[in-house]
């Protein structure tokens, strides 16, 4: 996975002493070790699994009358800025000055929140948002008279709410709930901790198949779902409202729970939000990166903390290049002491706090990038670090080459590996429709081994020069729906236009070229019923070509032929956005 891919780019400080915080040539920072951090945790002393399981028994779906009234009152404070119509995303942040109450002493966290300069932190927060999304609108919730009021501008709406300083976490969840109930919730929204810095454009990761997204981790002793990054889609507002109502209602229920009180004390101040979030998703355990699960009427997307909610380890040396891979950099706990050094790493000193430009996509200079798409210019890409393909999973290889087939986006690789594992190390022949940047061809070549023969077919002549240095890969420029060959393949993958008529014509043209016992896969089936895909399609196509009836009629014909034993199809397996077919032997 992406974490493993980047391990070699992170070097832990070997010295036994506490390293100084420093910028080395503007490219790396050595951060303090855990012993010097006041936000140290003791996971071994905390049975979070038992705690979450107990909290899950108190899950509630409906707000109490008092909370519903409070939410309704708070919602009136969220006015829609005039610039919101031009916004591509809304960003929600919450901060209240806790004063002397900022000294935390819980079983699993001790920290003096009051020692940090939150004006500087929120200035950095703004700079990161507007660098990635110049047209974003920020809703910054704080208490009346807060110094954060100075951060207000045309695209930053500072919302003053009457917030008791000793219960910030509870009020934060109430404020988030109020926001999704308010008229301001008209854009996809990122709910970020005030020290969670957006480091890349997030809109490219928004997928219509989910309503709410959270980030998950697999660190023993820590709550699996981290509260610092939550994504809410405006497209299905009722489902989002239901999710946040459940979130706050469960928080209310836990306030009166004796076991929780004995364990944590007053969870309105701290820990209660994250515990409530884990409680309402408990039935969906174990969490899995990129998995979608149902929470009430909401479809919940689980994103990996690395890269969507990344925090570097204490005692690590963090460099500029690997930080470029992180979508959100979360300066949790004492990491906020490293603010100046990390700002330098993120190159914020040369970027305006608002209106700064973010490259629209990967440069053509061969630099590292997030992942390859068919809309990405066909630029040759090779990872900066090696990978032992023979020991790696298909997902790890896909993430290595930055194809969206892996955990970076679709996680098709978990399905593919069920069928294709037996081909590894042999000499299979694979044809893929759609080359993009060549990343998936290299993935197949690495996974299946050097004896495999990988062929890519793409209609764009720009793809012709890709992968020339990879011995077992060749690229042909042709229309797959009309491509003629006598060659037989063990595997054919359609990752082409995703247009309904093209899918059918390509299958009709190439199914005969699949070896008996071989497989034919069709990716991104969602595109056949997503109007947004048709609107954003960049190649000339007739409107009728997108009609889903092409695919549905073809699928019905194949099923009918199978039922009457008049078909060479052994099976058709349908997964989320992916179809797998096997030819009968």
CB atoms within 10 A of CB 16: 7
Residue 365: inside a domain: no
**The pLDDT value given to residue 163:** 81
CA–CA gap between residue 248 and residue 174 (Å, rounded): 6
**What is the token pair recorded at 68?**
């519903």
Query: Pick from 311, 332, 347: which residue ends a domain?
Result: 347
Residue 364: inside a domain: no
Task: Decide if 435 contacts 475 (C-beta within 8 A).
Answer: yes
Residue 387: inside a domain: no
The pLDDT tens digits for 93-123 are 999 876 655 464 556 566 555 567 888 999 9
Confidence of residue 293 (pLDDT cuts 50, 70, 90): confident
Residues 173 and 284 grouped into a single domain: yes
Residues 340 and 403 grouped into a single domain: no
Query: Pick from 283, 317, 347: which residue ends a domain?
Result: 347
CA–CA gap between residue 386 and residue 382 (Å, rounded): 9
| Beta strands, E only, 237-347 | 292-295, 298-304, 316-319, 328-330
Please give the residue range of the domain that contains residue 221: 2-347
Looking at the predicted structure, is the pLDDT value of residue 545 above 60?
yes
**The pLDDT value given to residue 45:** 53
Residue 72: inside a domain: yes
Residue 352: inside a domain: no
pLDDT: which is higher, 387 or 206: 387
Looking at the predicted structure, is the pLDDT value of residue 24 above 70?
no
Burial label for 99, CB within 10 Å (0-12, 13-18, 19+), is: exposed
Alpha carbon 35 to its chain's center: 31
**What is the token pair recorded at 492?**
């054919």
Confidence of residue 22 (pLDDT cuts 50, 70, 90): very low
DSSP state at residue 205: G
**For range 72-77, the mean pLDDT:** 96
Counting DSSP H helices and E strands in the chain, the numbers are 17, 23
The pLDDT tens digits for 302-347 are 888 988 999 988 667 677 777 877 899 999 887 887 888 888 777 6
Residues 236 and 326 grouped into a single domain: yes
The domain that holds 17 is classified in CATH as: 3.90.550.10
Residue 361: inside a domain: no
Point out the least confidently predicted range of 376-380, 487-491, 505-509: 376-380
Residues 285 and 431 grouped into a single domain: no
pLDDT: which is higher, 148 or 353: 148
Angle at 384 between CA 383 and CA 385, to 5 degrees: 90
The domain that holds 544 is classified in CATH as: 3.40.50.150
575 has which bridge partners?
578
Domain tally, the chain? 2
Residue 371: inside a domain: no
CA–CA gap between residue 74 and residue 161 (Å, rounded): 7
**The pLDDT value given to residue 26:** 34
Residues 338 and 425 grouped into a single domain: no
Q: What is the mean pLDDT of the chain?
A: 83
Residues 107 and 180 grouped into a single domain: yes
Residues 76 and 179 grouped into a single domain: yes
**What is the token pair recorded at 279?**
């409680």
Residues 232 and 336 grouped into a single domain: yes
Residues 154 and 291 grouped into a single domain: yes
Burial label for 537, CB within 10 Å (0-12, 13-18, 19+), is: middle
**For range 348-377, the mean pLDDT:** 43
**For range 130-136, the mean pLDDT:** 92
């Amino acid at each position: 996975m992406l974490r493993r891919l980047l391990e070699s780019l992170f070097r832990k400080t070997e010295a036994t002493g506490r390293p100084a915080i420093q910028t080395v040539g503007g490219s790396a920072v050595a951060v303090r070790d855990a012993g010097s951090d006041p936000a140290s945790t003791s996971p071994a002393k905390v049975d979070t699994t038992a705690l979450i399981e107990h909290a899950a028994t108190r899950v509630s779906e409906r707000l109490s009358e008092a909370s519903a009234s409070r939410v309704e009152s708070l919602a009136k404070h969220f006015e829609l800025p005039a610039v919101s119509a031009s916004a591509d995303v809304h960003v929600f942040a919450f901060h209240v000055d806790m004063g002397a109450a900022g000294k935390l002493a819980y079983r699993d966290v001790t920290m003096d929140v009051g020692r940090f300069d939150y004006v500087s932190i929120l200035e950095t927060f703004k700079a990161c948002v507007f660098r990635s999304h110049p047209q974003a609108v920020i809703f910054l919730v704080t208490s009346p008279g807060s110094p954060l009021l100075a951060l207000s501008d045309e695209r930053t709406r500072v919302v003053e709410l009457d917030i008791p300083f000793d219960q910030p976490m509870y009020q934060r969840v109430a404020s988030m709930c109020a926001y999704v109930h308010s008229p301001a919730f008209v854009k996809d929204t990122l709910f970020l901790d005030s020290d969670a810095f957006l480091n890349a454009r997030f809109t490219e990761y928004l997928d219509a198949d989910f309503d709410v997204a959270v980030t998950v981790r697999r660190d023993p002793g820590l709550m699996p779902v981290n509260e610092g990054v939550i994504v809410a889609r405006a497209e299905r507002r009722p489902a989002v409202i239901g999710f946040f109502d459940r979130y706050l209602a469960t928080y209310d229920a836990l306030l009166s729970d004796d076991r929780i009180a004995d364990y944590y004390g007053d969870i309105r101040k701290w820990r209660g939000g994250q515990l409530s979030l884990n409680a309402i998703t408990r039935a969906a355990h174990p969490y899995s990166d990129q998995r979608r699960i149902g929470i009430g009427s909401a479809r919940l997307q689980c994103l990996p903390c690395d890269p969507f909610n990344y925090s570097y380890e204490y005692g690590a040396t963090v460099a500029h290049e690997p930080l470029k891979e992180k979508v959100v950099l979360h300066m949790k706990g004492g990491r906020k002491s490293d603010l100046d050094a990390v700002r330098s790493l993120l190159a914020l000193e040369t970027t305006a706090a608002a209106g700064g430009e973010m490259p629209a996509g990967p440069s053509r200079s061969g630099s590292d990038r997030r992942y390859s798409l068919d809309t990405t210019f066909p630029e040759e890409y090779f990872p900066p670090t090696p990978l032992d393909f023979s020991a790696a999973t298909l997902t790890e290889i896909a993430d290595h080459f930055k194809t969206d087939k892996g955990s970076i986006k679709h996680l098709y690789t978990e399905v593919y590996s069920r069928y294709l594992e037996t081909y590894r190390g042999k000499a299979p022949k694979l044809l893929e429709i759609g080359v993009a940047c060549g990343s998936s061809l290299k993935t197949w070549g690495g996974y299946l081994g050097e004896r495999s023969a990988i062929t890519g077919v793409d209609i764009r002549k720009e793809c012709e020069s890709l992968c020339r240095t990879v011995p077992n890969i060749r690229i042909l420029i042709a229309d797959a729906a009309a491509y003629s060959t006598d060659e037989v393949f063990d595997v054919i993958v359609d990752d082409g236009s995703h247009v309904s008529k093209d899918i059918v014509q390509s299958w009709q043209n190439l199914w005969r070229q699949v070896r008996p016992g071989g497989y034919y896969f069709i990716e991104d089936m969602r595109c056949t019923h997503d109007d947004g895909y048709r609107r954003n399609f960049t190649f000339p196509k007739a409107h009728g070509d997108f009609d889903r009836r092409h695919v549905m009629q073809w699928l019905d014909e194949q099923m009918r032929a199978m039922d009457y034993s008049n078909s060479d199809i052994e099976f058709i397996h349908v997964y989320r956005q992916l179809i797998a077919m096997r030819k009968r032997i």
